[in-house]
């Protein structure tokens, strides 16, 4: 039986262990080719890459846009915009149940997106990829579904570097079940304290949930060590990869993490779409997170049985266009190369660190030895909101506030920081513009 026939037959496709086979009609949803040559060391053509993003042709306050708020959301290349528009213009239909051509084409494109995300993350199977609204929903899904097995006294270990989305769901789970939340502290540089982590692990540890990269400081956590130690205590590990997937190569099979979450809008894809990777055996052991259409095998008034994973966790009509746009974003970053992106951003981060450190009154918050894409800082005597407002007048977009990391701000004794976060299209000239903007802030307010 062809894959198309399987998709027409029921609510959820069958997922081969190694790959998803697609009918030729899936080729009508192009990969979103950029025309970019693969990047090589010292051959990163950032100006050509920038040309793929329409927003950079738009002035901000009569100035060229300097966009340094990528940790909040990224800009979208034309290939992603076109992929979403093409779906709504020529192939809009619901997925998995229709027997007509548009339904088949939409289903093929949606499942092709799942296969591309599997490839991006290095997952072994396409059915280990669950589409959700974003990393936040992915973490809540695990907290609700996997968390139903928790008992009083069970322990959940997180770090002080976490986004609120990787704190609050575990707090609520602890309140519901009587579990206990344990927090790994960080040092004055924002480094994860591995010795403290070892001390917190024990026979009662039921889950470890940590960021791959801190959204507030850019610290890269030592995942290999974290995961190996947790598994030594038979504890699964959830990784919040929202700030890592756009910037670093990720291989969930090599990491051996049990869950991995990221958001499409941070990896140059649409908003409202995200991914939960979970090991197949774990997902298969978990009850549904939400119920409704598309996640059932059969319904009777006496009893309902549920679809296999991943459809069990995708109740209702999903964000089909979002998944298709995410697939185009995956093609875009893979064509450039995540290793090349990481090298470019690392060089840019080094340059930005040097430039900002030379400005009188600027104090960097978070100076870990392993960092990615983020500079968080304060300017003595000036509130970060005022810094951001004056930078905005210069056409420079940064983020100010606690960055959904209030416990981390408390650790460093500041209410807020200004955060400049980098993307694959940022340049040294933009870092120079940021430095000049901060000099102007100092002149005006200090």
Q: Which positions are annotated as active-site residues? A: 404
Distance of CA 7 to the CA centre of its chain: 29
What letter does residue 221 receive in the DSSP assignment?
Answer: P
Triad 55, 61, 64: Cα angle to 5°: 50
Number of Cβ atoms within 10 Å of the Cβ of 129: 27
Please check whether residue 197 is in contact with residue 157, taking contact to mean a CB–CB distance below 8 angstroms.
yes
Report angle CA 424, 74, 445 to the nearest 5 degrees.
95
What secondary structure does DSSP assign to 262-275, as a single string? Answer: EEGGGGTS-TT-EE
Residues 334, 330: Cα–Cα separation, whole Å: 6
Inter-CA distances, 310 with 13, 145, 330, Å? 9, 13, 20
Beta-carbon neighbour count of residue 109 at 10 Å?
24
- CA gap 22, 5 in Å, rounded: 11
Contact of 52 with 347, CB cutoff 8 Å? no
Q: What angle do CA 329, 331, 332 make, to 5 degrees?
A: 60
Characterize 414-429 residue by residue with b for buried, 16 or more Cβ atoms within 10 angstroms of its Cβ, and e for exposed. Answer: bebbbbbbbbbbbbee
- Cis check for the bond before 310: say yes or no (omega within 30 of 0): yes
All residues at 6 or more sequence positions from 24 whose CB lies less than 8 Å from its CB, including other chains: none
The Cα 318–Cα 190 span in angstroms is 38
């Amino acid at each position: 039986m062809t894959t198309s026939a399987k998709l027409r037959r029921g609510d959820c496709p069958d997922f081969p262990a190694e790959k998803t086979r697609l009918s030729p009609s899936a080729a009508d949803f192009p990969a979103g080719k950029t025309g970019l040559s693969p990047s090589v060391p010292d051959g990163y053509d950032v100006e050509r890459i920038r040309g793929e993003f329409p927003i950079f042709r738009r002035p901000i306050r009569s100035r060229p846009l300097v966009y340094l708020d990528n940790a909040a959301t990224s800009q979208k290349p034309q290939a992603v915009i076109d992929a979403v528009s093409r779906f709504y213009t020529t192939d809009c239909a619901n997925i998995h149940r229709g027997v007509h051509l548009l339904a088949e084409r939409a289903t093929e494109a949606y499942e092709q997106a799942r296969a591309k995300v599997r490839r991006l993350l290095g997952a072994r199977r396409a059915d280990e990829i669950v589409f959700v609204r974003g990393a936040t929903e992915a973490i809540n899904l695990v907290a609700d579904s996997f968390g139903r097995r928790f008992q009083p006294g069970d322990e959940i270990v997180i770090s002080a570097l976490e986004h609120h989305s990787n704190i609050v769901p575990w707090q609520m789970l602890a309140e519901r079940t009587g579990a206990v939340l344990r927090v790994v502290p960080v040092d004055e540089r924002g480094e994860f304290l591995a010795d403290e982590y070892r001390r917190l692990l024990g026979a009662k540890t039921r889950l470890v949930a940590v960021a791959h990269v801190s959204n507030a400081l850019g610290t890269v956590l030592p995942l290999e060590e974290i995961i190996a130690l947790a598994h030594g205590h038979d504890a699964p590990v959830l990784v919040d990869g929202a700030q890592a997937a756009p910037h670093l190569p990720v291989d969930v099979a090599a990491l051996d993490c049990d869950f991995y979450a990221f958001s499409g809008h941070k990896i140059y894809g649409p908003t409202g779409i995200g991914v939960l990777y979970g090991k197949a055996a774990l997902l298969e052991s978990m009850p549904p997170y939400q119920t409704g259409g598309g996640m059932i095998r059969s319904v009777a008034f006496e009893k309902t049985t549920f679809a296999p994973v991943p459809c069990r966790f995708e109740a209702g009509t999903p964000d089909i266009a979002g998944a298709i746009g995410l697939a185009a974003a995956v093609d875009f970053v893979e064509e450039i190369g995540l290793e090349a992106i990481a090298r470019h951003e690392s060089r840019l981060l080094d340059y930005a660190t040097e430039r900002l450190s030379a400005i009188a009154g600027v104090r960097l918050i978070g100076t870990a030895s392993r960092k990615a894409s983020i500079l968080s800082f304060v300017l003595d005597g000036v509130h970060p909101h005022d810094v951001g407002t004056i930078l905005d007048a210069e056409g420079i977009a940064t983020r100010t506030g606690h960055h959904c990391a209030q416990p981390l701000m408390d650790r460093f004794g500041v209410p807020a920081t200004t955060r400049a976060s980098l993307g694959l299209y940022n340049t040294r000239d933009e870092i120079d513009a940021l430095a000049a903007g901060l000099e102007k802030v100092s002149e005006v307010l200090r």
